[in-house]
Chains A and B, each alone.
Chain A
Amino acid sequence: MTVNARPIGNGASQTRKEKWERLLKRIWFYRYLYLLALPGLLYFLIFAYLPMWGVVIAFKDFRLFRGFDGSPWVGLKHFIFFFTSPSFPRLLKNTIVISGLYLVFVFPAPILLALLLNELKSGVYKRFVQTVSYLPHFISWVVVGGLLTYTFSLSMGAVNLQLQRIGMEPLHILGNQDTFYSLVVGTGIWKEMGWETIIYLAAIAGISPELYEAAIIDGANRFQRVLYVTLPGISAVIVIMLILQVSAILNSNFLQILILQGSDASLYEVGDVIDTWVYRAGFLQSQLSLSTAVSLFKGVVGLVLVFLANKAANKITGEGLWSKPS
């Protein structure tokens, strides 16, 4: 009974007033659903949308004691200050270099691992490797920082203690400008490679077995099957993941960089990125408006990149990155 009672609009012959009444009736009919959505809606309005409105302080000289209304408008002052400061080219360069390294080294790692896992013949061994490889995804960057110290530090890292024991020169890996990028790439791969294989393994599992059978009949060996069946089978997923990665080029992994930098200001030259700078300006130097201006700049560029990426994905795969709200 209740099912049939759901009001259904049938368009055409309705006047505007009738339409409104029907809509209101439908809304009233679903009032309990709206009530159920309320906590979630409030959450997003307060913690996602209010801060978006809060970016207007980027155009003010905002001080906490003056309050929002008491702070004067200053137009583009903070943007101009940032774009003409010597930090700007350095931050942009470091951010893009680190993202580029992620793209070239960290991005392909899980694809390669997924392909290799897929070639393992023992299901038990495969599951064991997978389970272990997920572990680093579940630990915090704080812990990763701790593990790094006890693995690589000069005085007490396992690697250097061992090198000393066999009479070799210790490796200066932590807190060293020259090795910072290697460290970023290495820890990035180590932490997320296993976790990211989930998506690729799912895509591989979705490839029709008939394709493999046909390839075998055609005389394809294992390597050729990977090259001509598996890889093309997951190429759509790879392209989408790649485009997402490109569109996030200004989002260097903030927490990772913050931990790897530690309190070592000598690393800022190579390792300071937009996000870490925004953090220091905002929370350590209380330049609230300047910090907001820089994160707004980053957000807007990011937005443009996401839309370009979606266009590219449309062209290449025939589908967008996101489903159109239907």
Chain B
Amino acid sequence: MNTPKTFLQKLLPARNPNKVRDSFWSRAFDLFNITLMMVVVLATLAPFLYILLGSLTEADYYRLHGVSINPAHWSLASYEILFSASSRLIPAFRVTFISTVIGTTLGLFVTSSLAFVVSRRELPGHKALIMMLFVTMIFNGGMVPFYLIVDGLKLTNTIWSMIIPFLSDAWFVFILVKFFESLPQELLDAARIDGCSEIDLYFRIVLPLSKPVLATIGLFFAVYFWNQWFWPMVFIQDSEILPLQVILRSILSSLLPVTNPNAAMQQARMASEMPPVEVMRMAAIMVTIVPIAIVYPFLQRYFVKGVMIGAVKG
């Protein structure tokens, strides 16, 4: 019975001796399903691949034939220009990076500290807190009153207008509350007996135990701040502090060239080799996507759990 398995046998799923062998239709369906899922994967990735290839295609080749899949016709010229001194994306990149880092950090603090308090059922006012958060999920004042408040606080036209008005969300609070309630209460009680104050408890016990759910909410915040464009477009006029997505949108709708033309012209060597505007735009799209596309697969097991916590019941 215990003959050692060959490598191939290990790779294949163990066959259940009680099970009838898969019927023809069952296997036909498997084949169909595997193919269909490949189609889903390709349909998801195709636009990204096309943009990637486009952004890499040499200027001359692109003008004549369009996008090339042959590495012999590739060049990094578009990315070099994108990261050169005359680029409009560099300052926008900096603004977005700063607002993402500060916004995610502050957002995590504001949201998790409130959630820790809401998770304490014995607290006087517990029900009122939950009601207060719940109401914000089903009703809001609308765009103009929100704008007037932000404007009234003198936040408009500063980088803070991208951060402070978006530091929390009732949904995130409730996900965190659910998680905090599932922490072992004996541990918290033990810390209290050792003389831990409530604030110590939050910083020294609860936060370190909550890394997975904080990673989830942190990712949600980071994605929000990185992708934010509507409110910055409304709040900010000063082009120096416009974030990446707003600049990208202007570049894509031909309102803005990718680089500052005067500065680019001064680099005379480049003027003749300047890639076509489409290639530059595709490179700009790639640069906007890549940071998040690299990060999210590593956080996948966390956010899948986080969404599940939130989905069990809102």
Contacts and interface: CB of A to CB of B under 8 A. Distances in A.
B40 A222 contact: no
B123 to A, nearest CB: 6
A23 B147 CA distance: 39
B134 A325 contact: yes
Given A119-B29, A190-B44, A199-B311, A140 B245 contact: yes
A161 interface: yes
A101 to B, nearest CB: 19
A125 B37 CA distance: 9
B47 interface: yes
A188 interface: no
Contact of B109 (A39, A121, A278, A291): A39
Interface string B119-134: 0111111010111111
Interface residues on B, range: 35 or more
A151 B47 contact: yes
A282 interface: yes
A39 B129 CA distance: 13
B51 A135 contact: no
B113 to A, nearest CB: 5
Secondary structure call for the B interface:
helix
Contacts of B168: 40, 43-44
Nearest to A132: B41
Nearest to A147: B47
Interface of B: 13, 19, 23, 25-26, 29-30, 33-34, 36-37, 40-41, 43-48, 50-51, 54, 66-67, 109-111, 113-118, 120-125, 127, 129-134, 136, 138-150, 153, 165, 167-168, 170, 173, 189, 192-193, 195, 197-199, 202, 223, 226-230, 234, 245, 248-249, 252-253, 278, 281-282, 285, 288-289, 292-293, 296-297, 300, 304, 307-308, 311, 313-314
Given A40-B111, A132-B40, 9 more contacts: A30-B120, A32-B197, A36-B198, A121-B13, A133-B40, A143-B289, A147-B47, A150-B47, A298-B142
Given A33-B120, A147-B47, A303-B139, A221 B249 contact: no
A233 interface: no
Nearest to A25: B124
A56 to B, nearest CB: 9
